[in-house]
Structure 1
Amino acid sequence: MDRQELSALAHANHPIYAPVSDSRVDDLLARTVRRPDAHVLDLGCGKGEWLLRALRTYPAITAVGVDVSSEGFGSTRESATRLGVADRLELITQDVKEYRSSCKADVVLSIGAAYAFGELLPTLRAAREQLGDDGMFLLGDCFWEREPSPELLEEMEGAGPQRFTDLPTLVDNVVADGWTPVFQYVSTQTDWDDYEWSWVGSLADWALDHPDHPDREQLLRVSAEHRHRYVHGYRGVLGFVFLLLRRS
């Protein structure tokens, strides 16, 4: 099973690809979508669940999602058709760093996708290029809740180009780049546990329910490795923040 298929399966019971509850997603969207006919762009949209939630809630908005992987797009399009919102949704398979549109967005979302741009500042620049003058940008990103161990820091920094900071530094960097935060939500430990254990449990459950499947041992191994990384590594150390931003 490749990485995209595995990720889609891991998120089966927690389709929002971030440590946040359903009710908080609704609240964040309510704060972000301020125009009834808003055009919403999600950079690094995953399977497009944030857009599906927004379209279901706001009957006059339009939405575009961009992601390098199309895994999960099929089921999202099916859901959009079932909900009667498919004509207002476009999902594009493309590297977000290369995406350009002549249509400025009223809302830009980038939730846990800064790694796709390499780091935070290119993410902010991409959002600024796509956002209308009075638009709202909802950023979701990780930070260090407390000082990580050298082993954890080495492991996390070896996983990709992005380097995390503490929360005050993250906010200061956003402000220095020309943004004004108007709302902040920090994921709770309950948010994290629900997300991570849904991830771990979805893989383990599937493997145990399919004892003869050739991918069974792979999924059990990945689930166990992820569980160990979370419980023994970044639980209570890695944080996640949502920042609602406007141009300064």
Structure 2
Amino acid sequence: MNRDQISRLAHAHHPIAAPVDDDAVRRLLERGIPRDDARILDLGCGGGEWLLRALAAHPGLRAEGVDISEQALAHARAAARACGVDERLTLHHGDAADFTASTPFDLVLSVGACHVHGGLLPTLAAAREHLAPGGHVLVGDGFWEREPTPEAVEMLGELSDLATTLDEVVADGWAPVQAHVSTRGELDAYEWSWTGSLAAWALDHPDDPDSTQALEAATTHRTEWLRTYRDSFGFVCLILRATP
């Protein structure tokens, strides 16, 4: 069972691949999309859930997404057809770090995918390349809510606390115009859904050759979450505009 398969099963009941609930997703998109006929781009779109929700809410909007996973893009295409928004959605298979576009976008998203570009600031640098004048960036990434253990840093990387994260973003030439810090409820709901959906699939398919690996992956992830980073990890979504 490869990483794409595990991710697809784990996100079966939480298609937003980040610890952000449906109300927060709606509010962030409402604030980030400047007008009904906007053009938006998701760098590392996965199954395209942010784009699908934006397209459903804005009949004049056009969206593009980039992802390295063919499986995730296939899911996004099928979901777009089922929702009747496929004619307004363009998906690109490839590394988001290498993506080039012929025209700029009014909103550039990258939520939970900053690893694609090597971190938050490199992600913002990539977003800037695709951004129309006066446009918005919606970016979501982790931060340390409390002092992490060395094991947590080794697992999740060299993150900053929330205040330092914002200082770094502002110093990089961005003004936050809205934000959402995930609550403990959102963080826990996401992890329980991730591990629980994967475990449930394994138990429902005992004869599948991948069931044992899926159950082991759910158990390992749950243990890492509860024992290594649950008490220190936070997640923030920022809506940003470039400063002069």
TM-score normalised to structure 1 length: 0.95
Instruction: Give the superposed CA RMSD.
Output: 1.0
C-alpha distance in 2 between matches for 1:155 and 1:78: 34
1:32 aligns with 2:43: no
C-alpha distance in 1 between matches for 2:193 and 2:35: 34
Residue 167 (structure 2) aligns with:
172
Residue 57 (structure 2) aligns with:
57
Find the partner of 1:201 among 181, 196, 201. Answer: 196
Residue 13 (structure 1) aligns with:
13
Residue 214 (structure 1) aligns with:
209
Where does the alignment leave 5 or more consecutive residues of structure 2 unmatched? none
Residue 242 (structure 1) aligns with:
237
Residue identity over aligned pairs, in percent, reads 52
- Count of paired positions: 243
- State the AA in 2 paired with 1:38: A
- State the AA in 2 paired with 1:49: E
- State the AA in 2 paired with 1:4: D
8 Å contact kept, 1:143–1:241? yes
Q: Which secondary structure state, in structure 2, belongs to the residue aligned with residue 100 of structure 1?
A: coil
- State the AA in 1 paired with 2:147: E
TM-score normalised to structure 2 length: 0.97
Residue 66 (structure 1) aligns with:
66
| Residue-by-residue CA offset, 1:121-143 (whole Å, 9 max, x unaligned) | 21111111100011011110100
Residue 223 (structure 2) aligns with:
228
C-alpha distance in 2 between matches for 1:147 and 1:7: 28
- State the AA in 1 paired with 2:188: D
8 Å contact kept, 1:137–1:245? yes
Structure 2 counterparts to residues 14-163 of structure 1, below 5 A: 14-157=14-157, 163=158
8 Å contact kept, 2:73–2:93? no
Q: Which secondary structure state, in structure 2, belongs to the residue aligned with residue 199 of structure 1?
A: helix
C-alpha distance in 1 between matches for 2:81 and 2:155: 41
- State the AA in 2 paired with 1:214: P
Q: What is the deviation of 1:84?
A: 1.6
8 Å contact kept, 1:36–1:60? yes
